[in-house]
Structure 1
């Protein structure tokens, strides 16, 4: 994919802003349990400014901007400057920079960088998935009883807590254990490299899972996503996991279809 290498260098440079933490205590509340720091804004501004130099015809979709005029039929860079902002505020060092490129509505490039561990996950459509330039693939887990599953609590939608925790309990009862890292992009990448076997969370946005979703698919996994929920994992647990966590409305919508992004 054009510009992938240049975009990778921009993301790596931006990662220093997370570890430096300058402005981490300058916090604005966007909504209940939904925060933005000075670092989120500065990283987004830096990445979009540098991308505009190498790809002046592109559009930009980001968590910390008005996206109402973005036409997804063109080329769009999709950014979460700090995925795991609550983690970042507390210096719980599991936050990443997540950048994807969409062309005509299809994700073709994805980069997720964890600056604390200096781990860079990346993929281009059709070229496989990599962690620090080494190929990665999902685990061979074939049923939930073999799995470590990551879950999201959707803290911005606490009206859904009873249903979300019901699903978590149902999965917990059938898997080896569950984990909550607090960054959907990082958790999806951990599924891609075999550290986790599956993931699900409600009410995510495209910038939360776009880049990591491509990385996961290129690593041999699957992801099913819409505006209500996201589920992902190894091929062997797809039907079992979806049977528990996917809402009836979504099962009807996706019946007989492949995942789409």
Structure 2
């Protein structure tokens, strides 16, 4: 595996956090089924994974800034670079014993993602990319799908859960999109949804109300795999706005017009 020194540090950190999470994941089925107990367990697993990643990254690059899901942001001595980390994307899947969750690490330089790692320990799939160097899964180069017809495409999104107010928007999206496609999937981990677009498993993906750590790494994966990535408002930076739409070039305009239509 060829990559920069930064990328190698990121991969090492992701694998170490993945090993910790796999150990905890094996204990999930033994949890007493209670919101407090199970939620507390997963929170601790999440925090442990973030501590592992943070220690590795900040030891290697102590001057870089930091943004993580489970800790306060840190402005580094080098204001142009920061790590953006989700130690456990797909927490609800993890809690329910579903083997679809990931570690996501991105490096931002001057407000642009330049290196990305998304690691799926349960399936042994490591997705990685660097700006200008393409996207990879393990040691295989990956590309977005070559499909050209919406009716043959499979798309992914997130569905609002309890307490969120964007259900009407999502239902309108689905009402417009489902009749024009081969289906829509909701697997519950944004970083892997983006990685699956990069590998051509999905033909497109959109979602609202994400955090930067949910998608920072995945956005670069899609771009380096030949896909197009925008905000739902095409003028927005999706990592900043929390709204993203992406897909292969052949379908993107049609897909985006369906989602964006009033």
User: Fold-level match, TM-score > 0.5?
Assistant: yes
Q: Could you tell me how far 1:103 is from its partner in structure 2?
A: 0.7
Q: Does structure 1 conserve the Cα–Cα contact (< 8 Å) formed by 2:63 and 2:77?
A: no
Q: How does 1:1-40 map to 2 (within 5 A)?
A: 1-21=4-24, 27-28=38-39, 37-40=43-46
Q: Does structure 2 conserve the Cα–Cα contact (< 8 Å) formed by 1:185 and 1:211?
A: yes
Q: Could you tell me how far 1:123 is from its partner in structure 2?
A: 0.2
Larger mean CA deviation between 175-184 and 140-149 belongs to 140-149
1:87 and 2:101 are equivalent in the alignment: no
Q: Could you tell me how far 1:194 is from its partner in structure 2?
A: 0.9
- Determine the C-alpha separation between the residues in 2 that align with 1:215 and 1:11: 16
- Determine the C-alpha separation between the residues in 2 that align with 1:70 and 1:153: 35
What TM-score does the superposition give when structure 2 sets the normalisation length? 0.86
The total of aligned residue pairs comes to 243
Structure-2 change in CA distance of 1:27 and 1:246 (3 Å): farther
Match of 1:61 in 2: 67
The structure in which a higher percent of residues are helix is 2
What TM-score does the superposition give when structure 1 sets the normalisation length? 0.86
Match of 1:251 in 2: none
Match of 1:195 in 2: 201
5+ long unaligned stretches in structure 1: 30-34, 249-261
Structure-2 change in CA distance of 1:81 and 1:228 (3 Å): closer
Q: Give per-residue Cα distances to partners, 1:145-203, cap 9 Å, x unaligned.
A: 12011111133663110111110221111011111110011011111111111111111
Q: Does structure 1 conserve the Cα–Cα contact (< 8 Å) formed by 2:150 and 2:180?
A: yes
Q: Give per-residue Cα distances to partners, 1:33-88, cap 9 Å, x unaligned.
A: xx961111111111011111111111110111223857995210000000001111
Q: Give per-residue Cα distances to partners, 1:109-139, cap 9 Å, x unaligned.
A: 0000000010000001000000012100011
- Determine the C-alpha separation between the residues in 2 that align with 1:72 and 1:244: 42
Match of 1:42 in 2: 48
